[in-house]
Amino acid sequence: MTDAEGGVFGGTNTAATCRAQGWEAGTLLAGDAGYGETVIEVTAVGQEKILARCVVKRGLWGPWPEMLWQLSERLWREVSQEYVDSLPGGGRLDDV
């Protein structure tokens, strides 16, 4: 499901949403649930779930451990490494 700005809600099957959007391991996604933007890096897409690591959460940089992630809490959009680098305190993902 998408909104007018192209954000995607993950629904109940996060992996199916990723496959439908062409999101795979290495894809960077950004979304905001009203508390500040979160950026994740998808690390694996399974049959129903995905693994991801949080890169930035509410302006705080990780690293956070890889974990199961659901896309149902916010609208998600694919972002570039350049976008991530431009965030306050930004740095290459390899540096976090």
Domains of the chain with bracketed CATH? 14-80 (2.30.30)
Predicted TM-score of the model (pTM): 0.82
Residue that has been written with the tokens 């302006």 in this structure: 59
- Is residue 10 very low, low, confident or very high in pLDDT (cuts 50, 70, 90)? low
- Look at residues 57, 58, 68 and name the one whose alpha carbon lies nearest to residue 10: 68
How far apart, in whole angstroms, are the C-alpha atoms of residue 85 and residue 70? 24
Q: pLDDT tens-digit profile of 38-51?
A: 999 999 999 989 99
> Is 69:41 a contact under the CB 8 Å cutoff?
no
**Can you give the pLDDT at residue 20?**
92
**Can you give the pLDDT at residue 4?**
41
**Can you give the pLDDT at residue 42?**
97
What does pLDDT average to over the chain? 84
**Can you give the pLDDT at residue 1?**
46
